[in-house]
């Protein structure tokens, strides 16, 4: 008997999105806003002023205990044990084959405490990777696995470690929190003027990129990270679900005279593409190892042991590599379109669009190493028409400092 698929989950902000006239799409098992007005207008707002995104579909894991740092060194590709409290780091969860299970952001919230944020569609895969690593890396008596019911106390300023019985506790706290991204050149001014927001840790004007600070909103704990997925400066705000709606409303009101608009997944996708940021299921998958995707720098290959280390050296030397492609005109290559060198198919587009910021088509593609040098002239098969394209360095767009 065929099981009926579970309906998509909804964000704590769903009713507000409906009231704003959003169109929705299923993304990673969540019913999320794809746009409110115009993809182009929302994209430009982020580049020129600011955009507000609901990213509550992302998954959050707490990793706590005296062995937390060493455990993350083992289960993730990077070296997390050297990261300072208050900082963040991009990393990868790898399969034993060396392929990418997910890409994550890790925040060090204490000497023995970390927050790991993963993609919505990979929540179960990351949880399984953590559980498998726990089972093989530490004796059962030294580990504890929690769930959303083990969420930190909402009365504290910063999410505190969950209670465990051993030297390592991993808890999925996704359902206890909402995530809101405030992105764009006006983001700092808007957040600073949002009624009810108080920064209790490092002031925003002193907070470095890929760092976090503690705060509060109307008495609820507010985790403020200077991170994002748009290529612009901005913040990602984690707050208990009960206060998410009020924070969303307050931020929109504070940014009303600064050009802030609510933004959906369509604008988020073109923004991250211009910034050369990979998307799982497009540029990243279990069939792709980090070096192919230009992420070899993320892997601390000198670590004595970590999940996927042995598999990284077993791939073929001629495996396709990720490149940027730029074209003239208005016709853009889309995911799945073939890339050719002369009459030979040498690769495939993974993401592509007409860049709203640059005014010409851009794409990311996996191509044969022999066709990957910057300046190489290729063509894209756009529905039977060959469109000239040139290999270029990523990212396509870089914000002014």
Residue ranges at the known binding site: 236
Structure tokens at 269: 């996708």
Structure tokens at 238: 């984690």
Question: Exposed, middle or buried: residue 179 (CB in 10 Å: 0-12, 13-18, 19+)?
Answer: buried
d(CA 15, CA 73): 40
Q: SS3 letters for 290-350?
A: HHHHCCHHHCCCCCCCCCCHHHHCCCCCCCCEEEEEECCCCCCCCCCCEEEECCEEEEEEE
Annotated binding site for substrate, which residues?
A: 236
Strands (DSSP E) found in 74-123: 88-94, 100-110, 113-118
CB-side neighbour CA atoms (13 Å) of 207:
27
Structure tokens at 268: 């988020």
Structure tokens at 61: 């894991």
296-303 long-range CB contacts below 8 Å, 24 or more apart?
298/77, 298/78, 298/90, 298/91, 298/92, 299/77, 299/78, 299/92, 300/73, 300/77, 300/78, 300/79, 303/73, 303/79
Pairing of strands 385-392, 100-110: unpaired
d(CA 279, CA 274): 12
DSSP letter, residue 161: P
**Helices 123-137 and 68-75, interaxial angle, to 10°?**
110
Question: Exposed, middle or buried: residue 10 (CB in 10 Å: 0-12, 13-18, 19+)?
Answer: middle
Structure tokens at 153: 């106390």
């Amino acid at each position: 008997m065929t099981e009926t698929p579970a309906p998509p989950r909804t964000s704590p902000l769903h009713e507000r999105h409906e009231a704003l006239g959003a169109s929705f799409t299923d993304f990673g098992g969540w019913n999320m806003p794809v746009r409110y007005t115009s993809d182009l207008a929302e994209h430009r707002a982020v580049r020129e002023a600011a955009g507000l995104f609901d990213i509550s579909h992302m998954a959050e894991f707490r990793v706590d205990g005296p062995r937390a740092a060493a455990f993350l060194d083992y289960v993730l590709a990077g070296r997390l044990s050297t990261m300072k409290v208050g900082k963040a780091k991009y990393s990868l969860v790898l399969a034993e084959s060396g392929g990418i299970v997910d890409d994550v952001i890790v925040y060090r919230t204490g000497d023995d405490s970390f927050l790991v944020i993963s993609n919505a569609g990979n929540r179960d895969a990351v949880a399984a990777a953590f559980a498998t690593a726990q089972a093989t890396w530490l004796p059962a008596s030294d580990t504890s696995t929690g769930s959303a019911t083990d969420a930190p106390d909402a009365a504290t300023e910063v999410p505190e470690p969950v209670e465990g019985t051993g030297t390592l506790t991993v808890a999925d706290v996704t359902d206890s929190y909402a995530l809101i991204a405030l992105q764009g050149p006006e983001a700092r001014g808007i957040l600073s003027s949002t009624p009810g927001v108080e920064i209790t840790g490092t002031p925003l004007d002193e907070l470095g990129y890929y760092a976090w600070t503690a705060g509060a909103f109307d008495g609820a704990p507010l985790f403020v990270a200077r991170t994002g997925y748009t290529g612009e400066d901005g913040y990602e705000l984690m707050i208990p679900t009960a206060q998410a709606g009020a924070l969303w409303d307050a931020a929109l009101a504070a940014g009303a005279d600064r050009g802030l608009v609510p933004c959906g997944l369509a604008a988020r996708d073109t923004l991250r593409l211009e910034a050369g940021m990979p998307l799982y299921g497009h540029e990243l998958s279990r069939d792709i190892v980090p070096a192919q995707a230009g992420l070899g720098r993320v892997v601390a290959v000198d670590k004595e042991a970590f999940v996927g280390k042995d598999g990284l050296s077993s791939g073929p030397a001629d495996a396709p590599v990720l490149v940027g492609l730029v074209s003239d005109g208005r016709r853009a290559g889309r995911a799945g379109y073939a890339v050719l060198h002369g009459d030979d198919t040498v690769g495939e587009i993974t993401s592509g669009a007409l860049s709203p910021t640059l005014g010409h088509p851009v794409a990311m593609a996996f191509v044969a190493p022999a066709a990957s040098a910057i300046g190489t002239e290729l063509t894209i098969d756009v529905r039977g028409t060959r469109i000239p394209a040139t290999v270029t360095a990523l990212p396509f767009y870089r914000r002014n400092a």
